[in-house]
Amino acid sequence: MSDCFYCENGEKLRSLMIEVCRLPNSIVYLNRDQKHRGRCIVTFKDHKTEYFQLTPEENAGFFAEVARVAAAIQKLFGPDKINYATFGDGVPHVHVHVVPKYKGGLNWGEPFDDTLPKQLLSEGEYDELVRALRAELSGGAG
């Protein structure tokens, strides 16, 4: 679908996130903005805009994979809480932001805020995070 940010899989997507891996129901991306260390986005593998458009099996599989990504983030980064955000009016494709939060850290006790300045990393740092996430997700159950 040419008008979907995720389905286009073009330069705009790659400028904002890095593909970590493909799971049976989803694609996992590391957000390039790492002000919340470990933040990922889990997108449904096909173009759907609402959860109710997924079959019960797809829905269960997708959310099991969201949980799997959250568990990997918990193990690797040790956040105090993980927030889950789903919108879609700006980018109409089923996806969930998995946002680690740290007590006393940025946005603790409130929704994460993408209007704050970005925290970008070196390519080597991104490679290290992607490698760690990919390894954790490939070794996880499911």
| Residue 19 burial (C-beta neighbours within 10 Å; 0-12, 13-18, 19+) | middle
Contact 65, 142 (CB under 8 A): yes
Q: How many residues are present in the chain? A: 142
- Of the candidates 99, 73, 96, 98, which has an alpha carbon nearest to the alpha carbon of residue 86? 96
For the chain, the distance separating the N- and C-terminal CA atoms, rounded to the nearest angstrom, is: 29
Q: What is the pLDDT along the chain (142 residues), one digit of tens a residue?
A: 568 999 999 999 999 999 999 999 999 999 999 999 999 999 999 999 999 999 999 999 999 999 999 999 999 999 999 999 999 999 999 999 999 999 999 999 999 888 999 999 999 999 999 999 999 999 854 4
Core vs surface per residue 94-120: b (16+ CB within 10 A) or e: bbbbbbbbeeeeeeeeeebeeeeeeee
